[in-house]
Amino acid sequence: MGQLEDMYVFLRVVETGSITKAAEQMNTAKSAVSKRLALLEHKLGIKLINRTTRMSSITEAGQRYYQRSKLILDEVEELNSQTSSSQRALAGTLNIAVPLSFGLSHLAPALDVFLQQHADLKLNVTFSDQKIDIVEQGVDLAFRIGQLDDSSLQARKIAPIHHVLCASPDYLKAYGEPRVPSDLKHHKMLRYSGADHSGLHFLSQDGIAQVINLEPHFSANNGDFLKSLAESSHGICYLPTFIVWQSLATQSLVPVLAEYQLQTMHAYAVYPPNRHLPVKVRSLIDFLVDRFGDNPYWQQS
């Protein structure tokens, strides 16, 4: 194992926070990682990481070595990518994390097409609505919807995410249709339990903004379940259009207060703060931006 490989092992230890996690990600023995780290420190004549039985912490010299090593490895990755990308198909394993509903309904069909174009590429997908530490978990690319609160990550917008209030025709026939946002207080609201329930933001056609605070009648951490409740006439749901677009097309759900504008979010591709993206990651991001665009198909219908 050469100098570049030693740098890579050191980076994995720093970024995962421990030798054990680094060994797990690299699918190698913990003792082998410890040995490589010790040999690197001996070669350099400095202490890079302070190690105890419970935790590891990077030294000041280790921090400087980490920053320079990262730049060097990124340059090597970019050089290899530029040299080989025109001659070689995408290969290797791509580790991604995706939200459940958006992942199954929209990313899964997109990934099917992408993998058909790159038959040598392997994919490892984690479906979860929980935000994970993508550096610690060894994830190359994660997809998140809404506000990004981790400034240490890099991100690129994939598509706008619009929301809609909708209900079944039978529910509206039984309980009446809201005419203004305040009417929602008299209805059964179906809300995503992971959302901010402080209020819904409305913007009228004449530019008047208002916030309506609502207590959900039903809440769940899965939008598809809430959609099924709405289709069964249990209330009015507030969900992204990528979940209810087909129900709106078939009119099993119909829009409520459609003349008001609701908040718009975005779907993002987020990735570790590398100077250069691996070709396989950049290629997937470019593919998804082209596929979804500023007016994705679920919004058009």
What's the pLDDT score for residue 87?
Answer: 47
Nearby residues of 19 by Cβ (< 8 Å), 6 or more positions away: 13, 30, 33, 34, 37, 51, 56
Domain final residue, candidates 23, 51, 84: 84
Q: In this structure, are 77 and 140 located in the same domain?
A: no
Place of tokens 């479906």: 127
Q: Are residues 246 and 175 in the same domain?
A: yes
83-135: per-residue pLDDT in tens? 655 445 677 888 999 999 999 999 999 999 999 999 888 899 999 888 888 87
> Residue 223 corresponds to which amino acid?
G
What is the rounded CA–CA span in Å between residue 268 and residue 256? Answer: 28
CATH number of 204's domain: 3.40.190.10
**Domain with 78 in it:** 3-84
Instruction: Please tell me whether residues 153 and 183 are part of one structural domain.
Output: no
Instruction: Tell me which residue of 248, 230, 236 sits closest to 298, measured CA to CA.
Output: 248
- C-alpha dihedral (166, 167, 168, 169), degrees to nearest 10: -90
**Residue 78 has what pLDDT?**
65
pLDDT at 252: 97
Residue 110 β-bridge partners: none
- Whose tokens are 């980076």? That residue is 11
The rounded average pLDDT for each run of 10 residues, N- to C-terminus, in the chain (301 residues) is 80 83 85 87 87 74 84 73 58 88 93 92 88 81 84 86 96 95 94 73 87 89 94 96 96 95 91 76 93 92 69
Considering the domain architecture, whether residues 17 and 48 belong to the same structural domain is answered as yes
Say if residues 14 and 62 touch (Cβ distance below 8 Å).
yes
Which of 25, 57, 84 is the C-terminal boundary of a domain? 84
**Distance in angstroms (rounded) separating the CA atoms of residues 251 and 14:** 53
DSSP secondary structure, 249-265, as one string: HHTSSEESSTTSBPPEE
Please give the pLDDT value at position 205. 85
Same domain, 73 and 218: no
Residues 256 and 126 in one domain: no
DSSP 77-129: HHHHHHHHTTTS---EEEEEEE-HHHIIIIIHHHHHHHHHH-TTEEEEEEE-S
pLDDT tens-place string over residues 170-202: 999 999 999 999 999 999 999 988 665 568 889
For CA atoms 13, 14, 16, 18, the dihedral sign is: positive
pLDDT of residue 274: 65
Residue 165: in which H helix or E strand, if any?
strand 154-167
Read off the tokens for 81: 């990518």
Q: Structurally, how many domains does the chain consist of?
A: 3
Q: Tell whether 23 and 75 lie within a shared domain.
A: yes
Do residues 258 and 178 share a domain?
Answer: yes
Q: What is the pLDDT of residue 150?
A: 64
Q: Does one domain contain both 136 and 126?
A: yes
Against a cut of 0.75, is the pTM above it? Answer: no
Same domain, 155 and 273: yes
Q: Residue 187: what pLDDT? A: 95
Q: Compute CA 292 distance to the chain's CA centroid, rounded to the nearest angstrom.
A: 15
